[in-house]
Amino acid sequence: MRVLLVTATELELAPLAAQLTPASYSLSSERLRAFTRGSHQVDILTTGVGMIATAAWCGRVLARQSYDLAVNLGVCGSFDPASPPGTVVNVTADCIAELGAEDDEQFLTVHQLGLLGPDDFPFRSGRLVNTAAPSNRVIAGLHAVNGITVNTVHGNERSIARVVERFAPGVETMEGAGFMYACLVSGSRFAQVRAVSNMVEKRNRGAWKLQEAVAALNDVGLRLIEQG
């Protein structure tokens, strides 16, 4: 099996990369690192932070190389008390929360504006949806959630309340929709796997559990490769 692991920063997958064996084959991009784990080929793509960088680099790599599975592994913020810090989730639907226009106090999505149909490819009912879940036991065992992707992470009570009302998200990231968009366009089998580092609330870095989230994320990442 050949797997592409996509991450925004090297920090998020450093423990997993340390347990892989550097590969001898060459890759098409300086952002890619090649490894093996048993009989599996594992390429790690570090895109940089944000949905634009993620979509651009994923699009480039997926156009040049086919993979049995592409997985976006990273941390996220959770809106749901049932998914506290340290929880690992499978984001099966995502959307770009800020893509639209303000109409005074009301927010209109790009679909409500009529600039894009809600079912125009690759969208389904206004969301990016993983309709072909990978046949991976580890991924299948994760709690499935809806996500939003943002350029500005939420840390204000009023803006949090507004985005929850609009989209009812389970988690938020800065890259997820860019990854899913690129995978849907390329026809790649994929999953967006996220570990919760913090609750989405008035910004409180003291309550974040980044180390615990990274540890949980890397444990799941290694197991999904080995049990794929």
pTM for the full model?
0.94
Nearest to 201 by CA among 84, 94, 79, 91: 79
Please check the confidence at residue 189 and state whether its pLDDT lies above 90.
yes
- Please, which pLDDT band fits residue 58 given cuts at 50, 70 and 90? very high
What confidence score (pLDDT) does residue 30 get?
A: 76
How far is it, in rounded angstroms, from Cα 135 to Cα 79?
A: 28
The whole-number average pLDDT for the span 193-209 is 93
Chain Cα centroid distance, residue 181: 11
The whole-number average pLDDT for the span 9-28 is 89
Distance set, CA 84 to CA 16, 89, 138, 197 (Å) = 22, 11, 19, 8
The angle subtended at Cα 97 by Cα 155 and Cα 160, nearest 5°, is 30
Provide the pairing of β-strand 143-149 with 88-94. Answer: parallel
pLDDT tens digits, one per residue of 66-78: 999 999 999 999 9
The whole-number average pLDDT for the span 204-220 is 94
Provide the pairing of β-strand 69-78 with 2-7. Answer: parallel
How far is it, in rounded angstroms, from Cα 12 to Cα 8?
A: 8
pLDDT tens digits, one per residue of 117-175: 999 999 999 999 999 888 899 999 999 999 999 999 999 999 999 999 999 999 999 99
- Locate the domains of the chain by residue range: 2-226
- Please, which pLDDT band fits residue 110 given cuts at 50, 70 and 90? very high
What percentage of the chain carries pLDDT values higher than 90?
89
Tell me whether residue 59 is exposed, middle or buried, using C-beta atoms within 10 angstroms of its C-beta: 0 to 12, 13 to 18, 19 or more. middle
- Please, which pLDDT band fits residue 28 given cuts at 50, 70 and 90? low
What confidence score (pLDDT) does residue 228 get?
A: 65
- Please, which pLDDT band fits residue 26 given cuts at 50, 70 and 90? low
pLDDT tens digits, one per residue of 178-188: 999 999 999 99
The whole-number average pLDDT for the span 206-228 is 93
- 2-226 to CATH, choices 3.40.50.2000, 2.40.33.10, 3.40.50.1580, 1.10.3720.10: 3.40.50.1580
What confidence score (pLDDT) does residue 133 get?
A: 82
Chain Cα centroid distance, residue 38: 25
